Chain A
Amino acid sequence: MSPQLSLILLVAVGYLAAHVAFDWLAKRFLLVSGAEYLLLGIFIGPLGAGLLDENTVRGLTPITMLALGWIGVALGLRLHLPTLVRIPAFMYRVGLAEALATFILTAGVMAIALAWFTGATPAVVLPAALILGAVATCSGTSGVDVVALRLGQREPIVRQLRVATLTDALVAVIALALVLCLAHPPGLTSWGRDPTVTEWAVITVTIGIVGGMLVHLFLGDEQKVDRLMVGLAASILLVTGSAAYLQLSPLLPAVLMGGILANTSRQRRILEELLAKVERPFTFVLLICAGALWQPTLRDWGIPVVLFLALRTAGKLGGARLAARMNGMLPTYGPTWGRALMGQGSLAIAIALNLLLVDPGPLASIVFSAALASVLLTDILSARFADAVATRLLGPLPDPAVASTEAH
């Protein structure tokens, strides 16, 4: 089957699944996630019915890379500073603390576990552990969206959850970018010498900034939707292609480009709408491809994946509790508010897939299996988790400074 026909079938099947089955499931049973697309990919991939073989799926790498860029820009567009500064500072502190706690716990323990389990050297283990930390940190937004639909966007707990998912995503994306700089294969450039880790990091950031500036120049004061679409699509292609060509992560440059657009362009709302319209098909192509690429071994399914799942759960619940305690919000949020962040979301898959496509090293399949297992197990119930927490916490959140004064 030609790659084009495969892609058409992939998207058509995914689309039908989304609109016929999964939308109904979401409305009826409060089940909303990316897990169903993963399952679809597994079913039609080499592990299942074999409708898509591995070569065909790998032939769709440019599309999956483009999907990564699209997800990154959509994330970056959330970084609208005038909106962000209106959010209370304690929400950022809570979100960041939770993200870092999850990341450090998962990466640290997984580094030791992988070294013991696989016998690999630290140079091999460390990047995989850090990526696992990044994957663990990601929290899906689909559950939060469902809660927002039920409770309203302005409900304080909804805002906290959105901030937390944003900080989780940013920590994960930055971690991925740094890991790919750290583990960059040598001898690929023709510059005379290989850039250092810092130089690769600077190049990653520069791609995003230059891409953002170029698209800002390109769009100017344009209001025509067609032209905006051209500029946006081309810039995402350019930035994603540049990063992927240099074997760096396309996610961080795309986030930076999105951030620049959010804060400098006059067409932010139109760009958000355009991105949203096209993001969904890209996301489910990404998830289906990820499912189709998954070929776990018995080794993958053993201790590493189980341990990862346990660590992530501990990180989300314990990290969220610790973050709330550190900021004086534990009485208000309750000890289990981290449950609302259990859903993984498509960013986790994007990160794991990025690693698989850029550097299919010996531990990449473990990382990939861990990410997919986590998405499959947590995403289906993510909306219910989020809803339960939110319902319990209905009501305004006091400012910690005011709460502290009243306590004294």
Chain B
Amino acid sequence: MRRLLILGGLYGAMLFILPAGTDSSARVLLTFGFLILAAYSAGELAPTFGLPKIVGYMLGGLLFGPFALGIVESNDVKALGSVGQLAIALIAFLAGAELQWAELKARGRQLLTLTSIELLTTFIAVLLLLLALQSRIPFLQGLPLLEVVIFSCIFASITMIHSPAVTMAMLTETGSTSPYARTTLGVVLLADVVVVLVFSLVLAAARSLVPPEGAIGMGLGLMAWEIIGAVPIGVLLGLGVTLYLRYVRTELFLFAVLVAFFGEEVARIAHVETLLTLLVAGFVTQNLSGDAGTDLRHAMERAAAPIFVVFFALAGAKLDLAEVVRLWPLVVPIVLVRLAALFVGTRIGAKVARLPKEETADSWMGLVSQAGVAIGLVTVAAESYPAVAGEMRTMLLAIVAINETIGPILFRRALARNETTTTPATIPAGPAPAMEA
């Protein structure tokens, strides 16, 4: 009841205020604050219906977004784009900080095997489906066979991707630290790197076989730098953070936000993959700093809380349900085939990698989610093939919308099934070791 009152009060307040002002920069602030409160309240309502909170955040964004009640307009969504970038940076750093070197050394090869096989299975399954349905798919209609194969490969490589954002959010929400949770997180993070690599190679091959016309694209060297360059830059950033934690170690909340901002800016300036850069930085920091790294992580989680809410709310606000409904006959088969491929691929991969069954039996459920990184890859493809990528983007958005909704639900069930969940990560009220001095 309280949440509904909050939502109603917020909606009423915005209806009153929005027609009365004009300041665009203040509107960004207003919309930001509104989205956090509205989406958070919607997120709090979601468990009532058996849904994860992040689905609630997305539904809140969808409800108040430009395609429904229209409180948050398309310009507002665009203006808050930097929040999405900051969220990705925070997510990546926190995800990297979750990875322990000892664990990676012990199980890295097994995780890589599992990841490779499930990705390959997904790629092949989606590719075959696209080739079978080519006459019905907008961006493949009327194209010669070579281009059909090339663009199908590009599309299939993007559909392989998972969502570190959703994975991290679910693990934070449930507080799960089971072997299943850690395996899934490891697979998702590895997959992120592998998919970006594969996508880059596929795009490079596409550019050589089907040269783009009048479009500005990246060379193979630049694409390789995007991945490879992210590692040394991430290491340098991580070392810098480690030094700060060793010799200064104060104002951690502020420092956490600065690290995310700075890392994202550095990655942008250096033309390297943001997610990978911050992931490496987080990994280096946590594994070199020990307890200090844990304190920084807690400060970052505190800073990230409102950012994550807005990130998923914005994802919801961008969902055009009308488009999803229009493309339903094409999108649903792709989603189902992808689900089946994940199921089969993880089973085979787990067997080949000799991973324990309790860690991998439900691993496909944790890999369903997709989010903004997929859209980012389409944007890269659009630089080379603008006309095709436009239609590709529309279909991909519809697929991501469905996976973004069902993915967290499935993952949450799997987490509950696979463990004794620990209490959610709570920083106690009042002075606590995790809070900065």
Contact of B27 among A227, A235, A245, A281 (CB under 8 A): A245
Interface of chain B residues 1 through 55 with chain A (CB within 8 A): 2, 5-6, 9-10, 13, 17, 19-23, 25-34, 36-37, 40-41
Given contacts A230-B306, A242-B13, A15 and B251 within 8 Å (CB-CB): yes
B82:A239 contact, CB within 8 angstroms? no
Interface of chain A residues 232 through 276 with chain B (CB within 8 A): 233-242, 244-247, 267, 269-270, 273
Contact of A234 among B9, B37, B430 (CB under 8 A): B37
Chain A facing B: main interface SS = helix
Given contacts A237-B29, A244-B23, A223 and B305 within 8 Å (CB-CB): no
Q: A373–B421 Cα gap in the complex (Å)?
A: 59
Interface of chain B residues 213 through 263 with chain A (CB within 8 A): 248, 250-251, 253-254, 258, 261-262
B118 sits at the interface (CB 8 A): no
Interface of chain A residues 211 through 228 with chain B (CB within 8 A): 213-214, 217-218, 220, 223-228
B305:A230 contact, CB within 8 angstroms? yes
B320 sits at the interface (CB 8 A): no
B248 → chain A, closest Cβ, in Å? 8
B384 → chain A, closest Cβ, in Å? 26
Interface of chain A residues 349 through 403 with chain B (CB within 8 A): none
Residues of chain B within 8 A of A234, CB atoms compared: 33, 36-37, 40, 306
B265:A245 contact, CB within 8 angstroms? no
A5 sits at the interface (CB 8 A): yes
A83 sits at the interface (CB 8 A): no
B302:A245 contact, CB within 8 angstroms? no
A191:B258 contact, CB within 8 angstroms? no
A245:B21 contact, CB within 8 angstroms? yes
Q: A217–B306 Cα gap in the complex (Å)?
A: 17
Contact of A4 among B261, B430, B435 (CB under 8 A): B261
Given contacts A62-B28, A189-B20, A214 and B9 within 8 Å (CB-CB): yes
A115 sits at the interface (CB 8 A): no
B426 sits at the interface (CB 8 A): yes
B171 → chain A, closest Cβ, in Å? 15
Q: A235–B30 Cα gap in the complex (Å)?
A: 10
Chain B facing A: main interface SS = helix
Contact of A226 among B32, B82, B305 (CB under 8 A): B305
Binds B, one of A6-14, A27-35, A117-125, A299-307: A6-14
Contact of B26 among A235, A244, A269, A270 (CB under 8 A): A244
| Interface 1/0 per residue, B406-436 and A, CB below 8 Å | 0000000000000000000011111000011
A208 → chain B, closest Cβ, in Å? 12
A191:B20 contact, CB within 8 angstroms? yes
Contact of A237 among B6, B33, B41, B254 (CB under 8 A): B33
Residues of chain B within 8 A of A231, CB atoms compared: 37, 40
Residue of B with least CB distance to A190: B19
Residues of chain B within 8 A of A214, CB atoms compared: 6, 9-10, 13, 37
Interface of chain A residues 188 through 207 with chain B (CB within 8 A): 188-191
B17:A245 contact, CB within 8 angstroms? yes
A84 sits at the interface (CB 8 A): no
B250:A242 contact, CB within 8 angstroms? no
Q: A8–B257 Cα gap in the complex (Å)?
A: 9
B301 sits at the interface (CB 8 A): yes
B309 sits at the interface (CB 8 A): yes
B93 → chain A, closest Cβ, in Å? 15
Q: A66–B19 Cα gap in the complex (Å)?
A: 22
A182 sits at the interface (CB 8 A): no
B429:A225 contact, CB within 8 angstroms? yes
B40:A188 contact, CB within 8 angstroms? no
A306 → chain B, closest Cβ, in Å? 34
Q: A65–B258 Cα gap in the complex (Å)?
A: 19
A226:B258 contact, CB within 8 angstroms? no
Q: A242–B306 Cα gap in the complex (Å)?
A: 19
A26 → chain B, closest Cβ, in Å? 16
Residues of chain A within 8 A of B10, CB atoms compared: 214, 238
Q: A267–B430 Cα gap in the complex (Å)?
A: 10
Residues of chain B within 8 A of A269, CB atoms compared: 430
A229 sits at the interface (CB 8 A): yes
Interface centre among A213, A220, A223, A224 (most CB of B within 10 A): A224
Given contacts A217-B6, A245-B27, A277-B436, A4 and B254 within 8 Å (CB-CB): no
B437 → chain A, closest Cβ, in Å? 10
Residues of chain A within 8 A of B31, CB atoms compared: 241
Contact of B22 among A188, A233, A278 (CB under 8 A): A188
Interface centre among B26, B32, B302 (most CB of A within 10 A): B26
A51 sits at the interface (CB 8 A): no
B406 → chain A, closest Cβ, in Å? 26
Q: A2–B266 Cα gap in the complex (Å)?
A: 11
Interface of chain A residues 46 through 80 with chain B (CB within 8 A): 61-62, 65-66
B379 → chain A, closest Cβ, in Å? 19
Given contacts A5-B265, A189-B20, A210-B9, A236 and B33 within 8 Å (CB-CB): yes
B181 → chain A, closest Cβ, in Å? 20
Given contacts A190-B19, A224-B427, A230-B36, A241 and B13 within 8 Å (CB-CB): no
Residues of chain B within 8 A of A230, CB atoms compared: 36, 40, 305-306, 309
B256 → chain A, closest Cβ, in Å? 12
Q: A242–B21 Cα gap in the complex (Å)?
A: 9
A238:B254 contact, CB within 8 angstroms? no
B32:A237 contact, CB within 8 angstroms? yes
B328 → chain A, closest Cβ, in Å? 35
A241:B32 contact, CB within 8 angstroms? yes
Q: A5–B27 Cα gap in the complex (Å)?
A: 22
Residues of chain A within 8 A of B19, CB atoms compared: 189-191
Residue of B with least CB distance to A220: B2
Residue of B with least CB distance to A58: B25
A19 sits at the interface (CB 8 A): yes
Q: A8–B28 Cα gap in the complex (Å)?
A: 20
A278:B254 contact, CB within 8 angstroms? yes
B29:A66 contact, CB within 8 angstroms? yes
Contact of A225 among B6, B264, B302 (CB under 8 A): B302
B20:A188 contact, CB within 8 angstroms? yes
Residues of chain A within 8 A of B23, CB atoms compared: 244-245, 247
Residues of chain A within 8 A of B13, CB atoms compared: 210, 214, 242
Residues of chain B within 8 A of A229, CB atoms compared: 302, 305-306
Q: A4–B257 Cα gap in the complex (Å)?
A: 12
A246:B6 contact, CB within 8 angstroms? no
Q: A190–B20 Cα gap in the complex (Å)?
A: 6
A216 → chain B, closest Cβ, in Å? 10
Interface of chain A residues 122 through 154 with chain B (CB within 8 A): none
The 10 residue pairs across chains A and B that have the minimum distance between CB atoms: A237-B33, A241-B30, A241-B29, A238-B33, A244-B26, A234-B36, A245-B21, A245-B26, A189-B20, A190-B19
Known: A237-B32, A242-B30. 13 other contacts (CB 8 A): A4-B265, A190-B19, A214-B9, A214-B37, A217-B6, A217-B9, A220-B2, A234-B37, A238-B34, A241-B26, A247-B21, A269-B430, A273-B430
Q: Point out residues on B near A: beta carbons under 8 Å.
A: 2, 5-6, 9-10, 13, 17, 19-23, 25-34, 36-37, 40-41, 82, 248, 250-251, 253-254, 258, 261-262, 264-265, 301-302, 305-306, 309, 426-430, 435-436
27 pairs from A and B in contact (CB 8 Å cutoff): A5-B265, A19-B250, A19-B251, A61-B25, A65-B26, A65-B29, A66-B29, A217-B6, A218-B41, A223-B429, A225-B302, A225-B429, A229-B305, A230-B306, A234-B37, A234-B40, A234-B306, A238-B10, A239-B33, A240-B29, A241-B27, A241-B30, A241-B33, A245-B27, A246-B20, A247-B21, A273-B430
